[in-house]
Amino acid sequence: MHASQPVDPECIFCRIVSGTIPCHRLYEDEDVLGFLDVGPVSRGHALIIPKGHWATLDQVPADVAAAAMRVAPRLSRAIMNATGAEAWNVLQNNGKLAHQAVDHVHFHIIPRTSDAGLEIGWPSGSLGDEDAAALVAAIARGMN
């Protein structure tokens, strides 16, 4: 388990972790909980959350983020087998503008079929060489 697992008593996911609010549990280990989303986009829509309360992904300790992704392939496989879906999205939103509804990091696993699942509008732009170079330099400075 990670050394410190912050808790926000007002957070619905922290209350699910503590057992105050029930969930349809799919997976649990010392760092991570997986359960069905109660407002599913499609059948089998599930969440993987760290047990500790971190609002956005950039705040999550690397070992906890790794623990969440360690279970993602196995849980995704099991959900696809159970639902018969052949495609799925893993979605992780950070911040209200990016549609984060609960301020406790969570990864959605959303099965996709021809008639159900996540609809994505993807407005592809273009990347200019000058801006790419500026971005690479700025991001590299931040990778400490």
Give the residue numbers marked as catalytic.
Answer: 106
Q: Which is nearer to Zn ion, 45 or 104 (CB)?
A: 104
Backbone angles phi, psi at 135, to 5 degrees: -65, -45
End-to-end CA distance of the chain: 24
Burial of 28 (0-12, 13-18, 19+ CB in 10 A): middle
| Spatial contact of 4 and 52, defined as CB atoms under 8 Å apart | yes
**Which residue has the CB atom at the shortest distance from Zn ion?**
11
Residues that bind Zn ion (CB under 5 A): 8, 11, 13-14, 53, 104
CB of 78 to Zn ion, least distance (A): 25
CB of 60 to Zn ion, least distance (A): 12
Q: Give the integer Cα–Cα distance in Å for 33 and 28.
A: 5
CB of 51 to Zn ion, least distance (A): 9
Q: Which is nearer to Zn ion, 13 or 35 (CB)?
A: 13
